[in-house]
């Protein structure tokens, strides 16, 4: 009995593969490598001693997904596959809708055909929109965002809920990630963005390694303790363990639950910069810049549902996240290249 990870070669997928293997699960990965490296597979093997079975396929192509189910006994699916860049999604929204919705629909269709009843979805705190006030809890109304990426997450949550309502034995957990950073402490797997990073931590580490000249801090006049944006940064290893807990829960329940994966604490952009400097004995040149369009001032989770329902909580600190992010970047200055 295996767990299929679609998009399992990516940043969060690869860390989840490691934690599932560590917990004794058989892991199978399906990924078209559109935004990931084949080297991830060897790295997972180095860390765990096990090389997952790998299918280089596009999970929007139904016959290819059916083949994976025909050749294996798949007990559950963790669905990561999808495009994930917010700014890119505003430039090419149709590609985001086509790819993200198609992959989700195809995977769910094949699960129904093959009577596979356990599903975990890689959703995002972006579904809380800009009207709710942090801490965000799972009962709050969700809303559309200003970008197609966020809207695909919201739509897929709805698709899963409708599908779940039609199939009593189906079980799904919609995991709403806050801001995953950090890397595996081995320094063998981590975040490897293509081109100029959009997200804070890869920008910091690329500045530290000398690829970028300085970090632009977007907005210093927010209603926050130091004026910079506040986010719930979560170590990717904690996040990955949240998926293990979610699969364990979903395998023995029915119906759909949305669950936040966050620490429950907010840290400001400047706090992250200072913790990074302290943890790694480095200096990050910063330039204070105007706000970035579309950003909210403060986002952090109410993390109690994950603890009550899944028995999971984040354990690693911002210091750990900063240390491990740098350890990954300095050992892999060009990512997997
Ligand atoms: C965090 C803070 C920025 C870069 C986004 C998506 C979300 C999820 C994760 C993923 C903000 C500030 C950033 C920089 C900065 N998506 N910042 N300088 O926007 O909270 O979440 O990524 O796949 O759905 O919306 O994360 O890391 O981009 O920004 O000052 O160079 O850092 O303004 O306050 P965000 P982020």
Q: Point out which residues pair with 29 in neighbouring strands.
A: 5, 54
Contacts of 56 (CB under 8 A, 6+ apart): 31, 32, 33, 38
Average pLDDT of the residues in 307-334? 97
| Nearest atom, ligand 1, residue 204 CA | 31
**Element housing 66 (H / E):** helix 62-71
What is the C-alpha to C-alpha distance for residues 128 and 323, in angstroms, rounded to an integer?
30
**Ligand 1 pocket, mutate which of 142, 200, 217, 287 (most atoms under 8 A from CB):** 200
Determine what percent of the chain falls in helix, strand and coil, rounding each to the nearest 5. Answer: 40, 20, 40
User: Residue 35: helix, strand or coil by DSSP?
Assistant: coil
Give the pLDDT confidence score for residue 332 in this predicted structure.
Answer: 96
What is the C-alpha to C-alpha distance for residues 230 and 42, in angstroms, rounded to an integer?
36
| Nearest atom, ligand 1, residue 177 CA | 8
Query: pLDDT tens for residues 65-78?
Result: 999 999 999 999 99
pLDDT band for position 295 (cuts 50, 70, 90): very high
Give the pLDDT confidence score for residue 18 in this predicted structure.
Answer: 99
Decide whether any atom of ligand 1 lies within 6 Å of the 269 Cβ. yes
Q: How many CB atoms lie within 10 A of CB 283?
A: 11
Mean pLDDT of the chain, nearest integer: 98
Give the pLDDT confidence score for residue 11 in this predicted structure.
Answer: 98
What is the C-alpha to C-alpha distance for residues 94 and 83, in angstroms, rounded to an integer?
11
Asked whether 44 and 20 are in contact (CB, 8 A), the reply is no
What is the C-alpha to C-alpha distance for residues 280 and 36, in angstroms, rounded to an integer?
27
Asked whether 17 and 5 are in contact (CB, 8 A), the reply is yes
**Which residues are tagged catalytic?**
149
| pTM as predicted | 0.98
With a pLDDT cut of 70, the percent of the chain lying above it is 100
What is the C-alpha to C-alpha distance for residues 50 and 155, in angstroms, rounded to an integer?
35
Decide whether any atom of ligand 1 lies within 6 Å of the 261 Cβ. no
Average pLDDT of the residues in 138-154? 96
CA distances from 19 to 50, 273, 299 (A): 12, 28, 27
Which tokens is 227 given? 């004026």
Give the pLDDT confidence score for residue 139 in this predicted structure.
Answer: 98
Give the pLDDT confidence score for residue 63 in this predicted structure.
Answer: 98
Asked whether 4 and 71 are in contact (CB, 8 A), the reply is no
C-alpha 305, offset from chain centre: 18
User: Residue 127: helix, strand or coil by DSSP?
Assistant: helix
Task: Report angle CA 80, 81, 85 to the nearest 5 degrees.
Answer: 95
Residue nearest to atom 18 of ligand 1 (CA): 217
Residues 187-223: b if buried by 16+ CB within 10 A, e if exposed: bbbbbbbeeebeebbbbbbbbbeeebeebebbbbebe
Query: pLDDT tens for residues 154-207?
Result: 999 999 999 999 999 999 999 999 999 999 999 999 999 989 999 999 999 999
**Ligand 1 pocket, mutate which of 225, 292, 293 (most atoms under 8 A from CB):** 292
| Residue owning tokens 């109410």 | 302
| Nearest atom, ligand 1, residue 291 CA | 33
Give the pLDDT confidence score for residue 47 in this predicted structure.
Answer: 98
């Amino acid at each position: 009995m295996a767990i299929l990870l679609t998009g399992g070669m990516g940043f969060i997928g690869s860390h989840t593969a490691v934690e599932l293997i560590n917990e004794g699960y058989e892991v199978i990965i399906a990924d078209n490598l559109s935004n990931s490296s084949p080297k991830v597979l060897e790295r997972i093997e180095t860390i765990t001693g096990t090389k997952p079975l790998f299918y280089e396929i596009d999970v929007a192509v139904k016959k290819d997904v059916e083949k994976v189910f025909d050749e294996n006994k798949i007990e559950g699916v963790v669905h990561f596959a999808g495009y994930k860049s917010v700014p890119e999604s505003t430039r090419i929204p149709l590609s985001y809708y086509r790819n993200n919705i198609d992959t989700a629909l195809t995977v769910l269709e094949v699960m129904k055909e093959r009577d596979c009843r356990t599903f975990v979805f890689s959703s995002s705190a972006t579904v809380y929109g800009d009207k709710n006030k942090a801490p965000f809890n799972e009962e709050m109304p969700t809303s559309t965002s200003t970008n197609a990426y966020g809207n695909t997450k919201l739509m897929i949550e709805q698709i899963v809920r409708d599908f779940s309502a039609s199939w009593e034995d189906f079980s799904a957990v919609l995991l709403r990630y806050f801001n995953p950073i950090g890397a595996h402490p081995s320094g063998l797997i981590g975040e490897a963005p293509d081109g100029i990073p959009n997200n804070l931590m890869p920008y910091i580490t690329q500045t530290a390694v000398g690829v970028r000249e300085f970090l632009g801090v977007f907005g210093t006049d927010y209603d926050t303790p130091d004026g910079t944006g506040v986010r719930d940064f979560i170590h990717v290893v904690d996040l990955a363990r949240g998926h293990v807990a979610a699969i364990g829960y979903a395998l023995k329940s029915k119906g759909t639950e949305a669950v936040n994966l966050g620490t429950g604490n907010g840290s400001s952009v400047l706090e992250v910069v200072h913790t990074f400097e302290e943890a790694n004995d480095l200096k990050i040149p910063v330039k204070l810049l105007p706000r970035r369009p579309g950003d909210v001032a403060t986002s952090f989770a109410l993390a109690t549902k994950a603890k009550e329902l899944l028995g999971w909580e984040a354990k690693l600190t911002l210091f750990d996240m900063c240390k491990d992010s740098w350890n990954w970047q300095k050992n892999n200055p060009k990512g997997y290249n």
